[in-house]
Amino acid sequence: SMPLLAVSPASEISPLELYEPTLGIDKTTGLDRKNLRVVIENGSGKFGKGSQMVNILRDFGYTVIKLANADNSDYEGITIKIKKEMIDYEKLLARDLNLASYTVATISADLLETEPADAVVIVGD
């Protein structure tokens, strides 16, 4: 596991500064966002919601490898599925999505090993 980076007391740092990605590496955890390969699925039934999420996650520094439609368009909020070995990224991804004003409805670490991505983010309504 990566050593935790030393951070100054939270009182001295504004929340935005604390969470601002530096070339994709998160200051608080030391995790490099580009190491997480993400598939975005649009589960909202609304055109453009998936590509909007692609742009947001790429801005944070994640590696988005694919955009597709979800199995249905009845999703509410954001659903995250992640591989067990990438579980360290679970809270970081959820925190980034919250910062981008999304509501994470469900997170599960049950993404199959055979999947090409490390995480699937389904965008609901």
pLDDT given at position 1: 53
Query: Would you place residue 4 in the very low, low, confident or very high pLDDT band (cuts 50, 70, 90)?
Result: low
DSSP state of 3: P
Task: Encode pLDDT of 88-116 as tens digits.
Answer: 999 999 999 999 999 999 999 999 999 99
Residue 79 pairs in a beta bridge with 106, 122
Q: Which residues contact 8 (CB under 8 A, 6 or more apart)?
A: none
Best CA proximity match to 43, nearest among 124, 102, 105 = 124
Tens of pLDDT, residue by residue over 6-49, are 554 444 544 455 555 556 899 889 999 999 999 999 999 999 99
Question: Model's pTM, two decimal places?
Answer: 0.82
pLDDT tens for each residue of 47-94 = 999 999 999 999 899 999 999 999 999 999 999 999 999 999 999 999
User: H or E element: which one contains 70?
Assistant: none
